[in-house]
């Protein structure tokens, strides 16, 4: 390195801010233990005196008990690579879905919604236990529970999907991920799986409450277990569909507030439209059309899929269920929606790289 | 460290890199080029994130085409733009990214604490990053690039947006990354001047072509120039011209800055070649004798454009336009 030029320039030369280490110091092999702790100590001292860094010195070393200057330590430990990074990102996304590992403020919304989600289940359980002598079943089926509470699930998704993906896009953090061992596939899969898992926990816990209540009320074990299992499958499908829709909308709208509104709109407007048109169609006697119409919104799609394949009660008007042929179309649309969401997310992050 | 061979990257409209062949050795290497010269494209290819159209490149002996993930495990990258979420603390953020680099949880926490201390962040590392100054943000960005103890870091315009003092600190820190941490550095800038103090080698690219690659010493020989501005007096209505004639008579090389471009203010600033330490005194004495008022006298550095004009023969300083950003860059 060239010695410093003499610099008589500048109206206000900054004399105190020269943390540059003396150029003729140890040389490239800085990790050499022979380097001696003293020269490093000096340099660290210089750093601590730099005005930008904190003016306090003692506390900086943790408690200020004693200042150990150990210099730079290289890392010789294991590097767990891509699979581990993907799992870590998944875990972080899942925890982020409940505000864990973040500020207390970000835990409020998901926790309140999760509580709201369980209230009807507790009421159903209370009723079932109180009336177990007369009524030998739950007043609400496992498979229609999520459809009943679709607005709450929608709110939860609208609150959580933007914070999962929009933040990385909006603050341009994505390049930091892609300059590490993980690839675009890993990022998209981890985020998708994280969101879907958070939704699954969100929707499956009330079902668990219902199931526990059903067992306490000593309802028929085999019947309840089968219905509970099918209910879990139905909320798993719902989680995949909702997570896909929510993440795509959030990834396309980096502004957070807008993303929240867009997700609520995408989930509720088509759902209400479908319900209205279904009632009109039924009123006009076009019962076959009711099944087809159910394809047009994510919520009714999952509801129709559940009633067609998982033996659930239909939430459509007059309890109409999609016919077998239409039911197959439901399956195709569910698969296409999940695959399509994945593809759109992949395309979205192709551009978001460095 | 890095070796490229006929590396070419063509986009539908532009050629970002054109048969670039360069060999970068361990140490601190500056990659200099104007905006759009292909610096960022080169980094992207070297990280294995964008395929080269033609040619080959190896980083740490690994092929960028096939061994991208292995390269990215051992290389750090500090982007040019802001990339920090404001509602997370520096510690949380860097720990998370350390894990993304494959560090086990405990190691990630330890390395984060170490690295943040080394870049000069103390208790503020527990506060959300939204409240940080630009200098602190740059330190966090550097820390996330170093946290997994890479063998090589790519720093893209690390001094962007910093004031002169902050820039000096950042440059010192970059130097330390190599001398103390033993990590090789590839640092980009569009200012040759600030790299010559920090780097062992400088690679200049323009329009995707290698313009020059040499050790820093070769560049610094002809860099020094003094910009002098003086007042006019009744005795000398055009003080700058008088001073120029006087200095030329003293055997110094002095020219008006911006004379060719006819820019506003041309003819008020004099650029004097610094032959040795005595030049400063000579200028001062000349001004004093002429009775002119000295408005400013500051050191100018070569801008990259000047290297373009003279790729091989670093001889007299050409009449430089007023430097971009004014006197701030002279420091």
Q: What is the DSSP letter of A166?
A: I
Nearest alpha-carbon partner for B270 in B254, B251, B284: B254
Whether residue B273 is predicted with pLDDT greater than 70 in this model: the reply is: yes
Nearest residue, CB atoms, A181 vs list B69, B76, B84: B69
Say if strands B270-273 and B254-256 run parallel, antiparallel, or are unpaired: antiparallel
Query: Whose structure tokens read 């109206």?
Result: A11
Among candidates B132, B278, B306, B123, which has minimal Cα distance to B222?
B306
Provide φ and ψ at B2, rounded to 5°: -130, 135
Would you state the torsion angle of the CA atoms of residues A306, A312, A314, A319, taken in this order, to the nearest 10 degrees?
A: 150
Residue B220 to residue A2, Cβ atoms within 8 A: yes
Q: Verify whether the Cβ–Cβ distance B103 to A79 is below 8 Å.
A: yes
Distance CA B113, CA B171 (A): 22
Q: Reduced to 3 states, what is the DSSP secondary structure of residue B21?
A: strand
Backbone angles phi, psi at B204, to 5 degrees: -110, 125
Task: List B255's β-bridge partners, or say none.
Answer: B271
Percent with pLDDT over 70 in chain B? 84
pLDDT of residue A123: 94
SS3 B122: coil
Q: Kindly state whether residues A141 and A100 are assigned to the same domain.
A: yes
Same domain, A69 and A134: no
**pLDDT over 80 at B312, yes or no:** no
A354 contacts A175 by C-beta, under 8 angstroms: yes
The predicted structure's pLDDT at residue B209: 83
Q: Which of A19, A46, A77 is the last residue of a domain?
A: A77
State the residue for tokens 């926490």: B109
Residues A59, B122: Cα–Cα separation, whole Å: 8
**Closest approach of chain A CAs to the CA of B85, in angstroms?**
6
Residue A35 shares a structural domain with residue A152? no
Kindly list the residues from chain A whose CB atom is less than 8 angstroms away from the CB atom of residue B84: 171, 173
Q: Are A139 and A202 members of one domain?
A: yes
Residue A353 lies in a domain: no
Q: Residue A317: which residues within 8 A CB-CB, separation 6 or more? A: A275, A278, A279, A282, A290
Question: What is the Cα–Cα distance from A211 to A129, expressed in whole angstroms?
Answer: 12
The answer on pLDDT for A346 being more than 90 is: yes
Is the same domain home to A73 and A88?
A: no
Band of the pLDDT at A178, cuts 50, 70, 90? Answer: very high
Q: Which two tokens stand for residue B31?
A: 């990659």
Residue A164 has what pLDDT?
Answer: 87
Q: Are A194 and A94 a contacting pair, CB within 8 Å?
A: yes
pLDDT per residue as tens digits for the range B151-201: 999 999 999 888 888 988 999 999 999 999 999 999 998 877 778 778 888
Q: How far is B301 from chain A (nearest CA, A)?
A: 11
Within a domain: A7: yes
Q: Which stretch of A13-22, A270-279, B47-56, B175-184 has the lowest confidence by average pLDDT?
A: A13-22
Mutate to test the interface with A, among B118, B169, B222, B287 (most CBs of A within 10 A): B169
Strands B152-156 and B75-78: parallel
pLDDT top residue among A317 and A302: A302
Task: Please give the pLDDT value at position A244.
Answer: 96
pLDDT number for residue A320: 83
Among B308, B311, B305, B296, smallest CA distance to B324 is for B305
* Nearest residue, CB atoms, B144 vs list A23, A50, A176: A176
Q: Is residue A188 part of a domain?
A: yes
Q: Note whether A93 and A122 are same-domain residues.
A: yes
Give residues with Cβ within 8 angstroms of B84, minimum separation 6: A171, A173, B93, B129, B132, B137, B140, B141
Q: B122 and A53 in contact by Cβ < 8 A? A: yes
* Chain B: closest CA distance from residue A94 (Å): 14
Q: Which of A11, A84, A176 is most worth mutating to test chain B (most B CB atoms within 10 A of its CB)?
A: A176
- Say which range, A207-211, A310-314, B126-130, has the weakest mean pLDDT: A310-314
Q: What pLDDT score does B215 carry?
A: 75
Residue A261 lies in a domain: yes
pLDDT at B192: 75
Residue-wise pLDDT tens digits, B42-77: 998 999 888 899 999 999 999 999 998 889 999 999
Q: In chain A, which residue's Cα lies nearest the Cα of B327?
A: A10
Confidence of residue A105 (pLDDT cuts 50, 70, 90): confident
The confidence score (pLDDT) of residue A145 equals 92
* pLDDT for the residue A5: 45
| A57 pLDDT above the threshold of 50 | no
Q: What is the DSSP letter of B330?
A: G
DSSP state of B198: T
Give the residue, A31 or A259, on which the prediction is more confident: A259
Nearest-CA residue of chain B relative to A101?
A: B92
- Nearest residue in chain B measured CA to CA from A49: B120
CB under 8 Å to A108, separation ≥6 — which residues? A99
Question: Rounded to the nearest 5°, which phi and psi values hold at B279?
Answer: -60, -45
Q: Please state the domain count of chain A.
A: 2
pLDDT at B98 over 90: yes
Verify that A60 and A174 share a domain, yes or no: no
Q: How far apart are CA A315 and CA A313, in angstroms?
A: 6
- CB contact under 8 Å between B277 and A176, yes or no, is no
Residue B146 at interface with chain A, using a CB cutoff of 8 Å: no
CB atoms within 10 A of CB A35: 19
Q: What is the pLDDT of residue B29?
A: 93
Task: Work out the mean pLDDT of chain B and round it to a whole number.
Answer: 82
Q: Exposure of B312 by Cβ count < 10 A (0-12 exposed, 13-18 middle, 19+ buried)?
A: exposed
Partner A, chain B 235-264, Cβ-Cβ below 8 Å: none
Same-domain pairing of A47 and A188: no
**Domain, as residue range, for A40:** 1-77
Count of CB atoms situated within 10 Å of the CB of B305? 15
**Do A97 and A189 have their domain in common?**
yes
Instruction: Output the 3-class SS for A174-243.
Output: HHHHHCCCCCHHHHHHHHHHHHHHHHHHHHHHHHHHHHHHHHHCCCCHHHHHHHHHHHHHHHHHHHHHHH
Tell me the ipTM for this assembly.
Answer: 0.73
Whether residue A29 is predicted with pLDDT greater than 70 in this model: the reply is no
B214 backbone dihedrals φ, ψ, rounded to 5°: -160, 175
- Inside any domain, residue A51: yes
**Residue A42: its chain B contacts at CB < 8 A?**
none
Would you say residue B220 has pLDDT above 70?
A: no
Higher pLDDT, A197 or B20: A197
Q: What is the mean pLDDT of residues B106-131?
A: 92
**From CA B136, how far away is CA B234, in angstroms rounded?**
50
- Residue in the block written with tokens 């076959």: A288
Would you say residue A130 has pLDDT above 80?
Answer: yes
Q: Residue A318 corresponds to which tokens in the numbers above? A: 């007059």
Is A45 in the same domain as A136? no
Q: Compute the count of residue pairs across chains A and B with CB atoms less than 8 Å apart.
A: 216
What average pLDDT does range B103-127 have in this prediction?
93
Please indicate whether, in this complex, the C-beta atoms of B178 and A9 are within 8 angstroms of each other. Answer: no
Within 8 A by CB and 6+ apart from A272, the residues are none
From the CA of B13, how many Å to the nearest CA of chain A? Answer: 17
Q: Does any domain span residue A354?
A: no
The last residue of a domain, from among A77, A92, A124: A77
Contacts of A1 in chain B (CB under 8 A): 175, 197-200, 216
Can you tell me the mean pLDDT for A317-331? 85
Q: Look at residues B159, B215, B139 and name the one whose alpha carbon lies nearest to residue A47.
A: B139
Residue with more model confidence, B32 or A334 = A334
Please name the residue that has the structure tokens 């010559």. B196
B125 and chain A in contact, CB less than 8 A: no
Per-residue confidence (pLDDT) for residue B147, from 0 to 100: 95
Does any domain span residue A325?
yes
- Write down the pLDDT at residue B146: 95
Mean pLDDT, rounded, of chain A = 81
From chain B, pick out residues whose CB is under 8 angstroms from the CB of A77: 103-104, 107
Q: Which of A77, A99, A123 is a domain's end point?
A: A77
Residues A182 and A40 in one domain: no
A70 vs A342 pLDDT, higher one: A342
Q: Looking at the structure, tell me whether residues A210 and A297 fall in a common domain.
A: yes
Of A2, A21, A50, the CB nearest to B216: A2
Instruction: Find the residue in A nearest to B221 (Cα).
Output: A2
Asked whether the beta carbons of residue B172 and residue A18 sit closer than 8 angstroms, the reply is: yes
Q: In this structure, is residue A267 part of a structural domain? A: yes
Report strand pairing: B201-206 vs B28-32: parallel
- Subunit contact B79:A175, Cβ cutoff 8 A: yes
Higher-confidence residue of A138 and A66: namely A138
**Are A19 and B182 a contacting pair at CB < 8 A?**
no
Tell me what percent of the residues of chain B surpass a pLDDT of 90: 38
What confidence score (pLDDT) does residue A34 get?
Answer: 41
pLDDT for residue A354 = 59
């Amino acid at each position: 390195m060239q010695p410093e030029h003499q610099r008589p320039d500048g109206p206000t030369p900054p004399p105190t801010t020269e943390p540059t280490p003396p150029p003729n110091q140890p040389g490239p092999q800085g990790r050499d233990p022979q380097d001696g702790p003293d020269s490093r100590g000096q340099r660290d001292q210089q750093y601590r005196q730099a005005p930008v860094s904190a003016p306090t010195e003692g506390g900086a070393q943790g408690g200020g008990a004693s200042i150990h200057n150990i210099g730079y330590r290289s890392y010789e430990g294991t590097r767990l690579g891509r699979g581990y990074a993907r799992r870590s990102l998944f875990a972080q996304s899942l925890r982020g879905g409940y505000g864990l590992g973040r500020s207390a403020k970000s835990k409020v919304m998901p926790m309140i919604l999760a509580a709201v989600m369980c209230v009807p289940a507790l009421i159903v359980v209370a009723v079932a236990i109180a009336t177990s002598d007369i009524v030998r079943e739950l007043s609400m089926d496992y498979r229609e529970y999520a459809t009943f509470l679709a607005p709450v699930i929608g709110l939860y998704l609208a609150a959580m999907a933007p914070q999962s993906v929009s933040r990385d896009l909006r603050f341009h953090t994505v390049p930091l991920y892609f300059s590490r061992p993980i690839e675009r596939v890993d990022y998209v899969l981890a985020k998708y799986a994280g969101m879907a898992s958070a939704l699954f926990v969100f929707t499956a816990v009330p079902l668990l409450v219902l199931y526990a209540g059903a067992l306490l009320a000593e309802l028929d074990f085999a019947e309840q277990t089968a219905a509970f299992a099918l209910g879990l499958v139905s909320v798993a499908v719902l989680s995949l569909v909702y997570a896909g829709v929510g993440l795509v909308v959030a990834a396309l709208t980096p502004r957070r507030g807008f993303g929240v509104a867009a997700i609520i709109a995408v989930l509720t407007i088509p759902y209400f439209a479908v319900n209205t048109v279904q009632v009109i169609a039924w009123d006009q006697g076009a019962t076959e059309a009711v099944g087809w119409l159910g394809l047009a919104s994510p919520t009714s799609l999952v509801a129709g899929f559940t009633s067609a394949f998982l033996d659930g009660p239909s939430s459509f008007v007059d309890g109409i269920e999609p016919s077998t042929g239409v039911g197959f179309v439901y399956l195709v649309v569910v698969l296409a929606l999940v695959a399509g969401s994945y593809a759109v997310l992949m395309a979205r992050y192709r551009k978001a790289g460095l | 460290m890095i070796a490229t061979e006929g590396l070419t990257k063509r986009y539908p409209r532009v050629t970002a890199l054109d048969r670039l062949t360069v060999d970068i050795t361990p140490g601190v290497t500056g990659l200099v080029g104007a905006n759009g010269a292909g610096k960022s494209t080169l980094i992207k290819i070297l990280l294995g994130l964008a395929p080269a159209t033609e040619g080959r490149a190896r980083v740490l002996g690994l092929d960028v085409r096939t061994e991208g993930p292995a390269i990215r495990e051992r290389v750090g990258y500090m982007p040019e733009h802001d990339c920090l979420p404001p509602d997370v603390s520096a510690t949380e953020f860097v720990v998370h990214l350390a894990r993304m680099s494959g560090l086990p949880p405990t190691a990630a926490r330890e390395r984060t604490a170490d690295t943040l201390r080394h870049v000069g962040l103390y208790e503020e590392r527990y506060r959300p990053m939204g409240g940080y100054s630009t200098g602190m943000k740059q330190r966090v960005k550097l820390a996330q690039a170093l946290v997994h103890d890479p063998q090589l870091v790519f720093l893209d315009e690390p001094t962007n947006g910093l004031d002169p003092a902050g820039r000096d600190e950042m440059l010192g820190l970059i130097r330390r990354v190599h001398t103390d941490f033993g990590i090789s550095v590839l640092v980009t800038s569009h200012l040759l001047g600030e790299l010559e103090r920090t780097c062992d080698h400088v690679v200049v690219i323009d329009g995707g072509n290698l313009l020059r690659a040499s050790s820093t010493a070769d560049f610094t020989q002809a860099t020094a120039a003094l910009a002098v501005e003086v007042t006019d007096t009744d005795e000398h209505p055009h003080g700058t011209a008088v001073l120029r004639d006087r200095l030329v008579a003293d055997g110094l090389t002095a020219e008006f800055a911006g004379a060719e471009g006819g820019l506003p203010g041309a003819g008020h600033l004099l650029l004097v070649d610094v032959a040795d330490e005595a030049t400063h005194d000579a200028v001062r004495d000349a001004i004093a004798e002429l009775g002119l008022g000295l408005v400013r006298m500051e050191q100018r550095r070569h801008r990259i454009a000047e290297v373009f004009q003279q790729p091989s023969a670093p001889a007299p300083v050409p009449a430089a336009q007023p430097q971009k950003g004014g006197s701030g860059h002279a420091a």
